[in-house]
Amino acid sequence: MNQIASSSLLFLCAALVAQDPPVKVVPAVPIVPLPAAAPAAPQGPAVDPAKLIGKPPPPLVVARWVKGEPLTELEQGKVWVVDFWATWCGPCKAAIPHLSKLAETHAGKVEVLGISISEKQASPEDTAYQDRVQQFVDKQGDRMNYRVAVDTPDKQMHQTWFKPTGTGGIPTAYIVDAKGLVVWTGIGEPKTIERIVGEVLAGTFDPAREAALQQKLEAEAKQRAAADIKQARESGKSVDEKVPGYREAMQRGDTTAALAALDAAFAADAKLEASGPYQWKFMLLMQRNKADEVNSYVRELLQRYPDDDDVLGFASACIVQTDTDTPRFAKELALQTAQKTAAAAKEGSRWQQFARWRLAWALWHTGDPQQAAAQMQLALDGVRKLKEKFDFGDLELDCEAALKTFRK
């Protein structure tokens, strides 16, 4: 599976509060934002996140403690990671085992506190979301091995903690030092959290240096994006220009017209779909939240591109359920796609280990825990063997957690 497809899936899974960001599969193609996950919190005056640094955090005001002993304040003498997440947020769920591992590694020195925010409510008075969070956390078991609380129906934690960070997205985290002062806040990417906590414990963390580092990384990312755009323009006609009407439909938020434009373009140019825009159609179908449409499209791709590992790999990454929740898409179809992807993966490649991981989950969801465990062990062994060569992100921890589930 190529880098574009892998990056596209990352955008697909990213979750922003109140309004999600545009999903971009190919540069310069606007995609309509995902619908709001929860009623937006009331708008207040803009806050400079830098003003939070060196100050005590806001008070803890939650609706319910769903795991661990209740708190009234953060105990001094320990470093605290306060993680804002939601049950519907893919990146938040992926971060859970990392946060548990962080607390376990630094037991007695570091405490993690998860705060569920922006859960779906039918109305401001609806409190059913609290039970849903409780059920989710109970199901996680030791995988989520730290204190967890739920925001109030009127979103006190959203307003006083989350919103002032200025991130707009979750997972967002605060790191509070042993003196009870905020030293950092931002998007809670596990590697960033782990690095900063390590520096805080060592007494070497410098907020000004960290801010300068983030500015440098953002500037480098912009330079890479500019180079990509320049290359695309110099190469001739861009891919999105081969889909008449698609850009215009997306700009006005007309997903039905955008899908029709894609289908017409695919019919006119048989090679166009597999060159990348199949990902655009996938994104639109996923956003429409109609599982039958996604299932149908995957079946079409299997028929048209039975040997294209990029296409099938992307499909597999989208439809295989990689947790214990009830699968959203057809289980047998997910298994078939995962099997083809794993078979096509190059031996000893980075992608092979991800393909094995997804195949293991597909096997588990179709009722074969023994084969699932065997496949997951292969993935874990591969990651451990190759992790000095490739960046696998969270995969080692994910494999370890999955094996515990499969072998119960």
149 contact partners, CB below 8 Å, separation of at least 6: 60, 62, 63, 64, 65, 66, 70, 113, 114, 115, 116, 157
Residue from 74, 52, 36, 41 nearest 151 by CA:
41
**Overall residue count recorded for the chain in this entry:** 408
Residue from 124, 41, 26 nearest 84 by CA:
41
Task: Give pLDDT tens digits along the chain (408 positions).
Answer: 443 343 334 333 344 443 332 222 332 233 223 333 333 333 344 457 788 999 999 999 999 999 999 999 999 999 999 999 999 888 899 899 999 999 999 999 999 999 999 898 877 888 999 999 999 999 999 999 999 999 999 999 999 999 898 877 789 999 999 999 999 998 888 889 999 999 999 999 999 898 898 888 778 867 775 665 566 556 555 666 778 888 888 877 788 888 998 999 899 888 889 988 999 998 888 877 678 899 999 999 999 999 898 899 999 999 999 888 788 899 999 999 999 999 999 999 999 999 999 999 999 999 999 999 999 999 999 999 999 998 887 788 889 989 988 988
**What local confidence, expressed as pLDDT, does residue 319 receive?**
93
DSSP, residue by residue, 154-185: T-HHIIIIIGGG---EESEEEEE-TTS-EEEE
Whole-angstrom distance, CA of residue 153 vs CA of residue 119: 9
CATH class, 232-406 region: mainly alpha
Q: What is the pTM of this model?
A: 0.58
**What local confidence, expressed as pLDDT, does residue 95 receive?**
92
**What local confidence, expressed as pLDDT, does residue 120 receive?**
83
How many other C-beta atoms are found inside a 10 Å radius of the C-beta of residue 355?
30
Q: Which pairing describes strands 147-150 and 110-116: parallel, antiparallel, or unpaired?
A: parallel
Domain 49-205 CATH (choose: 3.40.30.10, 3.40.630.30, 3.30.70.1400, 1.10.3080.10): 3.40.30.10
Q: Do domains 49-205 and 232-406 have the same CATH topology?
A: no
How many other C-beta atoms are found inside a 10 Å radius of the C-beta of residue 92?
23
Whole-angstrom distance, CA of residue 130 vs CA of residue 276: 41
**What local confidence, expressed as pLDDT, does residue 181 receive?**
96
**What local confidence, expressed as pLDDT, does residue 231 receive?**
61
**What local confidence, expressed as pLDDT, does residue 238 receive?**
62
**What local confidence, expressed as pLDDT, does residue 172 receive?**
92
- Which residues is 176 bridged to in the sheet? 80, 182
Element (H, E) at 355: helix 350-365
Burial string for 367-377 (b: 16+ CB within 10 Å, else e) reads: ebeeebbebbb
- Delimit the domains of the chain by residue range: 49-205, 232-406
Which structure tokens are listed for 332?
């047998």
**What local confidence, expressed as pLDDT, does residue 3 receive?**
37
